[in-house]
Homo-oligomer: A and B are copies of this chain.
Amino acid sequence: MNNSIQVPKPSSELLELATNIRQKAMLLGQADDRQRKDALVAMASALKENSEKIVDANKQDLKKAHDEGLTSSLMARLKLDAKKLIASVEGVAQVGELPDPLGLRQLHKELSTGLVLERVTVPLGVLGVIFEARPDAVIQIASLAIRSGNGAILKGGSEASLTNAAIMETLQKGLADSDIHPNSLGLLTTRQESLAMLRLDGLVDLIIPRGSNELVRFIQDNTRIPVLGHADGICHLYIDCDADLDQALKIAIDSKTQYPAACNAIETLLLHGDIAKSFLEKAIPVFESLGVRLLGDSISQSFGVSEPADQKDWSKEYLDLVLSIKVVANIDESIEHISEYGSRHTEAIVTNDQKAADKFLRAVDSSGVYHNCSTRFADGFRYGFGAEVGISTQTLPPRGPVGLEGLVTYRYILQGNGHIAGSFVSGESSFTHKDLPL
């Protein structure tokens, strides 16, 4: 995936499919809480009934992938056995139980006698979801879309094409037994179509990429549709001079090794000069015993880090048991380093000095800033959102881990009885701007 790839014009078939999904999504957006919940129940039932068919389709995909020599880690992601499928079906039920994100009144105000303004949450419209491998993502995204009243156009990896088709057919079968139109969901099958979807502004309201940094960056660079997600996750842990070093080490180990392939794992450790030596004395043997390769600047090398980190390391997301280490003179230098190299995902400080912590929490402009805890908590489920659409590192909301809330927007509703602006200009009427109960 690189920038020489051309984004083609949407074919008439794709335009027809997207227009149809948009129309059905408009109806779905007007369905009530009960109808959307029932649709998820119907989707879950259909998945249970057709589980054998889906697992069989997956076996065929696996066989083909094996013949084509897919790596074992990709094979593991592709695999959808009965056990994984049951877990996915449970996920659908759980999404059904999440509080309705629609119809929430965020603002309620009398503008003038008899003229009342409300701001109410509504669905976005149609989601465009592009993901790699992991066919259970179809199930998860489809259930989040229906719960939030949005249509969805999905495109999965070609390795999983038979599985994805079997899942989509099953989900639509389920929807057919509910009040929600089966064509609220659609599946794209070719790469050309998924590229062309990037041009469907006006028909697709939000693109959700689930995959490699490269995939996300390519999409961000090639669409005018808003993209929910993040490319890099260059997270930092800064250990201040006033840190409890045992606590700091525990947090550093968890942040790096608990799941190094996650976007919220740290890539760089910043150490205050006053504690760098004593911290590294403790830390180096522990990291080595855990198989973590350490790369350091010259000062940390002088304290025992064996390999050098070069300039490029500060911007590298290893996604692996590799950690770059830099010694800084003070907290300001740590903040500057993060501002220069961070990806505005999640950064943490370990310190017993609340003033230093407050400074860090105020000055570091990432979607998550943490004090005395692991960066690995940056996750929708851990935040208690019940579901996660993705983690956004953009500046504007939604940012950080995004739950169902990121799939809705709002609309202003104003109701009067013949109110016109002219009477306010003439002075005949006047604004009261009185808050009403939500």
Contact = CB atoms under 8 A, between A and B. Distances in A.
A395 B111 contact: no
A206 interface: yes
Interface in A227-261: 244, 247, 250-251, 253-255, 258-259
Contact of A357 (B259, B411, B415): B415
A117 B383 CA distance: 8
3 tightest A-B CB contacts, nearest first: A373-B416, A254-B420, A376-B421
A382 B418 contact: no
Interface of A: 26, 29-30, 109, 111, 115, 117, 119, 122, 124-125, 205-206, 220-221, 224, 226, 244, 247, 250-251, 253-255, 258-259, 339, 357, 361-363, 365-374, 376-378, 382-384, 394-397, 399-401, 409-422, 424-425, 431, 433
Given A373-B414, A395-B409, A415-B372, A420 B365 contact: no
B400 A412 contact: yes
30 contacts: A26-B363, A125-B365, A205-B396, A206-B396, A226-B394, A226-B396, A247-B417, A254-B421, A255-B420, A361-B413, A367-B411, A368-B411, A369-B411, A369-B412, A370-B413, A371-B415, A373-B415, A373-B418, A373-B419, A373-B420, A374-B419, A374-B420, A382-B421, A382-B424, A384-B431, A397-B397, A397-B409, A399-B409, A400-B412, A401-B412
A224 B226 CA distance: 10
A421 B362 contact: no
A160 to B, nearest CB: 27
A421 B365 contact: no
B368 A420 contact: no
A251 to B, nearest CB: 6
Nearest to A204: B395
A364 to B, nearest CB: 9
A416 B226 contact: no
Given A111-B382, A368-B412, A371-B414, 13 more contacts: A26-B363, A30-B362, A30-B363, A122-B365, A206-B395, A368-B413, A372-B415, A374-B419, A377-B414, A396-B396, A397-B397, A399-B411, A400-B412
